[in-house]
Amino acid sequence: MSTESPTPSSGSTDSRPRRRRLPTWRLLVYIGLGLGVLVMMIPFLYTISTALKSNAFVFTPEFFPRNPTLENFQTAWNSNNFQRYFLNSLKVATLSSLLTVVVATTQAYAFARMQFPGKNLIFNTYLITMMIPGMLFIIPQFLQARELGLLNSHLGLIVFYVVGSIPFQTFLLRGFFESIPRAVEEAAYVDGAGRFTTFARVVLPLAGPAVGTSMIFSFLGNWDEFTWALTIINDTSLRTLPIALRLFQGQHASQWGLVFAASLIAIVPVIIVFIIFQRSFVKGVAAGGVKG
């Protein structure tokens, strides 16, 4: 986009330095985007503000708390097993995303580079299941988990989180492997490397960023997962953060400051992960989205 050129009417005086003043249209764009950002931030800011209010003032609507206090954050962090929920979420999300990535990466590579009977059939089955609402699986999977004794356990969360992300992650990573020039691998084969050596030593290092992105995606998805955890976890001590927050709100219906302090602690890791990996994340969304 020719963002640098001035407005058409000033075309004749093009020779003077362009950066002297902000063109009106650009100023307007900044104002519009700024206002938008403000509106977008209101719910977050008000949440922070509420979390900083002591309980007596939660329903006083002012935006800036009169006597801000960190009391809610301390209480939330130290109460109701909160630290345990945090660790539960960390454990489940980390293990699930690791397993997903291992399984999806090897599979995606085979779909991208190898020939075998049934290849298209399997891959198309993956694509079709991606179009089926995830909630359809919740009932049969619940009964299956009950049969296998996986109810009320973290293993039950992990097994089904992994399978839930396999089709999409395989699809995403296959697209990536296909974009690597074949010549790289052919060079390795000519040098006498086998399938597995080539994959491990040549392809995987190249795929690092893509595999990382895929792992972040599935980590964030599992960190936030609510419905399946709500359905199979009964024990208080096994809860993950999303269901803990929901039940927390149920128990402390009027203690919104506490609920929001806990919520903010829960979304901080997500925001940090996102800020650190922003670039590859944005690329991943674009790739997954555009190919769809």
Partner 1 sequence: MTRYSLATKVRRAARLRRPRVSAWKRGEYLAAALFIAPGLIWFLGFMLYPLVYSFWMSLHDWKIRGPSEFVGLANYARVFTDNINLIALRNTIVYALLSVPAQIVLGLLIALGLEQVSRGKVVLRLIYYLPVISSWVVVSLMFMFLFNSEGLFNYVFGDILGLVNPNTAWLNRASTALPVIALLGVWKGMGWSMLIYLAALQSIPAELTEAARVDGANRGQVTRFVTVPLLKPTTLFIAVMLTIGAFQSFIQFYIMTGGGPVHQTEVFLSYMYTQAFNFLDFGYASAIAWVLAVLILAISLMQFRLIKSTYEY
Residues 129-148 that bind partner 1 (CB under 8 A): 129, 131-144
Smallest gap from residue 137 Cβ to partner 1 (A) = 5
Nearer to partner 1, 63 or 208 (CB): 63
Question: What one-letter code names the amino acid at 129?
Answer: T
CA contacts within 13 A on the Cβ side of 255? 18
Residue 149 lies near partner 1 (rule: CB under 8 A): no
CA 244, CA 24: separation in Å to the nearest integer?
Answer: 50
Binding flag, residue 65, partner 1 (CB under 8 A) = no
Q: What is the largest CA-CA distance in the chain?
A: 79
- Please tell me whether residue 7 binds partner 1 under the rule CB under 8 A: yes
Binders of partner 1 among residues 77 to 136 (CB under 8 A) are 102-104, 106-107, 109-111, 114-117, 119, 122, 125-126, 129, 131-136
Q: Does 17 bind partner 1 (CB under 8 A)?
A: no
CA 278 to chain centre: 11
Minimum CB separation from partner 1 for residue 43, in Å? 5
Among 15, 56, 61, 64, binds partner 1 (CB under 8 A): 61
Residues within window 214-273 making contact with partner 1, judged by CB under 8 A: 220, 223-224, 226-227, 231, 242-243, 245-246, 249, 256, 259-260, 263, 266-267, 270-271
Q: How many residues sit close enough to partner 1 to count as binding (CB under 8 A)?
A: 97
By beta-carbon proximity to partner 1, the closer residue of 2 and 237 is 2
| Chain CA centroid to CA 244, Å | 19
- Cα 268–chain centre separation: 13
Q: Shortest approach of partner 1 to residue 27 CB, angstroms?
A: 10
Using the rule CB under 8 A, give the single segment among 68-76, 90-98, 195-203, 205-213 that binds partner 1. 195-203
CA-based nearest residue to 248, from 237, 232, 235, 260: 260
Q: Kindly tell me the number of DSSP H helices and DSSP E strands found in the chain.
A: 13, 0
Where are the alpha helices (H) located in 52-118, listed in sequence order? 71-78, 82-113
Coil/strand/helix, residue 47: helix
Query: Would you say 171 and 111 are in contact if contact means Cβ atoms under 8 Å apart?
Result: no
- Binding of partner 1 by 64 (CB under 8 A): no
